[in-house]
């Protein structure tokens, strides 16, 4: 049997101050206190905070695909694009879209939504309604997030309010390339 070379390492013996942890705790607290006062600075540029007081406050830096509040798009003549097909309300997992269809005077359109209400408090912002819509009639690209509210009735967004946020869409159906205008 060969001999085994064992290297004996000398253990680092902690000093009294190291064992007490007082210097390290003080150093850590120093960093915390420094950041605390830095982030209280009235000059926002000097702060290191990257959080926002959501949902009370918003931000200008929404991602391009951010799903904000809904809007209903219009035809070129200003009429609502929605044809009350119920695809969005059927797919909505929160069951928060209520549509009442009515017959359109134009037989090529057939139906339009006499009533179109979204309960934004129940909405889970999944975007499935937008995906399901065959007419580019509903979008969530407003860049506006839902503000907190104390009155529940203000969460019901009616058709005409949704239309006010919407712009003209000239998207074409049947899988053709959508040429849709975007309005804020």
Footprint of ligand SF4 (CB under 6 A): 82-88, 92-94, 96-97, 99, 118, 123-129, 132-133, 135, 137-138
**CA angle 130–136–137, rounded 5-degree value:** 85
Q: Is the Cβ of residue 24 or residue 131 nearer to ligand SF4 in the bound state?
A: 131
Q: Is the Cβ of residue 86 or residue 155 nearer to ligand SF4 in the bound state?
A: 86
Q: Is the Cβ of residue 58 or residue 98 nearer to ligand SF4 in the bound state?
A: 98
Provide the minimum distance between the beta carbon of 79 and ligand SF4 in the complex, in angstroms, as a whole number: 12
3-class secondary structure, 129: helix
- Characterize the bridge pairing of strands 138-139 and 97-103: unpaired
Q: Write 179-183 long-range contacts (CB < 8 A, 24+).
A: 180/73, 180/136, 182/141
3-class secondary structure, 165: helix
Q: Is the Cβ of residue 135 or residue 180 nearer to ligand SF4 in the bound state?
A: 135
Provide the minimum distance between the beta carbon of 99 and ligand SF4 in the complex, in angstroms, as a whole number: 5
How many C-beta atoms lie closer than 10 Å to residue 162's C-beta?
Answer: 24
Provide the minimum distance between the beta carbon of 74 and ligand SF4 in the complex, in angstroms, as a whole number: 12
Q: Is the Cβ of residue 3 or residue 108 nearer to ligand SF4 in the bound state?
A: 108
Q: Is the peptide bond before 55 cis (omega within 30 degrees of 0)?
A: yes
For 33-51, letters b (16+ CB in 10 Å) and e give eeeeeeeeeeeeeeeeeee
How many C-beta atoms lie closer than 10 Å to residue 10's C-beta?
Answer: 5
Provide the minimum distance between the beta carbon of 126 and ligand SF4 in the complex, in angstroms, as a whole number: 4
Provide the minimum distance between the beta carbon of 129 and ligand SF4 in the complex, in angstroms, as a whole number: 3
């Amino acid at each position: 049997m060969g001999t085994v070379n064992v290297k004996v390492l000398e253990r680092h013996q902690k000093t009294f101050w190291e064992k007490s942890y007082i210097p390290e705790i003080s150093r850590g607290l120093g960093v915390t206190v420094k950041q605390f006062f830095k982030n209280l600075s009235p000059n926002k540029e000097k702060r290191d905070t990257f959080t926002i007081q959501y949902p009370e406050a918003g931000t200008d830096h929404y991602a391009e695909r951010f799903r904000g509040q809904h809007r209903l798009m219009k035809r070129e003549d200003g009429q609502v694009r929605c044809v009350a097909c119920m695809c969005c309300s059927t797919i909505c997992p929160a069951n928060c879209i209520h549509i009442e269809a009515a017959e359109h005077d134009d037989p090529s359109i057939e139906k339009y939504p006499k009533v179109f209400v979204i309960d934004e408090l129940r909405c889970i912002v999944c975007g499935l309604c937008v995906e399901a819509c065959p007419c580019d009639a509903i979008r969530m690209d407003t860049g506006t997030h839902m503000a907190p509210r104390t009155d529940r009735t203000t969460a019901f967004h009616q058709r005409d309010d949704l239309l006010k946020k919407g712009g003209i869409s000239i998207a074409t159906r049947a899988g053709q390339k959508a040429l849709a205008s975007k309005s804020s």
